[in-house]
């Protein structure tokens, strides 16, 4: 593998000297290291080691806290166990939810838990759309991310220099009628109507949730924040750009929102990537949720084949001018400069997470 990478790098350097005309997309793809900062590979797979090596990639395994009638559901233990099987491939992100926020020792208990999970390897903490859309306090009010009862936790994370991945809100289409099958979110809200806010007038408005998110970022300028899914503003890169201009501590990643990007003018999106090339990280939302033994050999074969196609499609979108079809949207790729691809796929994640580059 090392020899392949050396050959790839040599070919890229040679091509640069010759004007770059002979560089194949395959050589560039192999030569650029990658970190998928938003992955959900909950369980190990026999194929994953070779797959990640082929893609010259590592991943952040992101925990999510979801409250249901049985309590708070998490996958932290599964991610911790999986990362231990290949510690050179995986990093960890823990999570935070607002259940029991009215308790006087809420912040203290959460800080103690987070402290233990950071010591176990967590480099980041995720907050989910529970804030603003699902979880309520004792008074029956939806808990927004800028709630003052959460502030001691942000202070703790700032002191530890631990970033927060923030999936606050949903795409704006969640507050719109679900009547267009070409909508990039039609499939998700058809399968998860509980998050289709249009059907739930009790859920606060999109603007209410995004404004609370903005106040939270503004009130915590020393807290590094990664806006998951392009900060729930994926329908309009200009809206994302406005926040990046306003908040120097905010970064974004496009996991599961590439369809929204493909649906916008490619030149406009390309200009956005180039302008904010130091603030956009690569993320996908890809993963698995079933143990390997729960899949047949043929299902596993199909699974890795689909994963290969998914990562390849995203690569072609950002690195070529190929025709791309993503979640009902069709357009041409961005063909970003190699320097921008390197930052998007690798360098920005290294800097954001405080890691040492290889």
The Cα–Cα gap between 220 and 158 comes to 9
Q: Does 14 score more than 70 pLDDT?
A: no
| pLDDT tens-digit series, residues 147-156 | 999 999 999 9
User: What pTM value is reported for the model?
Assistant: 0.92
β-strands 66-68, 34-41: how paired?
Answer: unpaired
Q: Confidence class of residue 2 from pLDDT cuts 50, 70 and 90? A: very low
Q: Does 318 score more than 80 pLDDT?
A: yes
Q: Does 82 score more than 60 pLDDT?
A: yes
Residue 19 in tokens: 């004007």
Reduced to 3 states (helix: H, G, I; strand: E, B; else coil), residue 150 is helix
| pLDDT tens-digit series, residues 247-306 | 999 999 999 999 999 999 999 999 999 999 999 999 999 999 999 999 999 999 999 999
Q: Does 182 score more than 90 pLDDT?
A: no
Q: Does 340 score more than 80 pLDDT?
A: yes
Q: Does 342 score more than 70 pLDDT?
A: yes
The predicted structure's pLDDT at residue 29: 86
Q: Does 233 score more than 90 pLDDT?
A: yes
For every residue of 157-223, DSSP letters joined together read HHHHT--EEE--S--GGGGS----TTSTTHHHHHH-GGG-GGG-TTSPPHHHHHHHHHHHHHH-TTS
Q: Confidence class of residue 23 from pLDDT cuts 50, 70 and 90? A: low
């Amino acid at each position: 593998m090392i020899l392949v990478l050396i050959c790839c790098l040599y070919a890229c350097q040679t091509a640069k000297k010759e004007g770059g005309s002979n560089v194949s997309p395959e050589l560039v793809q192999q030569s650029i290291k990658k970190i998928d900062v938003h992955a959900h590979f909950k369980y190990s797979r026999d194929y994953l080691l070779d797959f990640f090596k082929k893609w010259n990639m590592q991943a952040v395994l992101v925990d999510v806290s979801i409250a249901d009638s049985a309590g708070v559901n998490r996958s932290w233990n599964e991610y911790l166990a999986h990362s231990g099987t290949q510690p050179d491939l995986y990093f960890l992100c823990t999570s935070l939810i607002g259940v029991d926020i009215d308790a006087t020792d809420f912040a203290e208990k959460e800080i103690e838990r987070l402290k233990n999970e950071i010591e176990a390897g967590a480099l980041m903490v995720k907050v989910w759309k529970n804030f603003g859309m699902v979880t309520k306090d004792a008074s029956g009010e939806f808990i927004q991310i800028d709630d003052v009862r959460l502030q001691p936790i942000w202070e703790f994370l700032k002191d530890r220099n631990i970033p927060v991945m923030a999936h606050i809100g949903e795409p704006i289409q969640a507050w719109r009628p679900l009547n267009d099958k070409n909508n990039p979110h039609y499939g998700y809200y058809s399968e998860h109507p509980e998050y289709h806010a249009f059907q739930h007038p009790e859920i606060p408005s999109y603007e209410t949730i995004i404004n609370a998110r903005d106040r939270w970022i503004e009130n915590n300028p020393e807290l590094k924040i990664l806006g998951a899914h392009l900060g729930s503003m994926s329908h309009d890169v200009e809206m994302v750009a406005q926040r990046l201009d306003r908040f120097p501590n905010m970064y974004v990643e496009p996991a599961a929102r590439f369809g929204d990007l493909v649906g916008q003018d490619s030149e406009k999106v390309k200009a956005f990537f180039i302008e904010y090339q130091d603030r956009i990280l690569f993320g996908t939302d890809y993963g698995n949720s079933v143990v390997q033994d729960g899949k047949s050999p043929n299902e596993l074969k199909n699974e890795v084949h689909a994963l290969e196609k998914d990562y390849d499609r995203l690569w072609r979108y950002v690195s070529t001018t190929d025709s791309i079809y993503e979640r009902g949207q069709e357009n041409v790729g961005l063909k970003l400069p190699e320097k921008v691809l390197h930052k998007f796929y690798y360098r920005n994640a290294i800097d954001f997470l405080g890691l040492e580059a290889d």
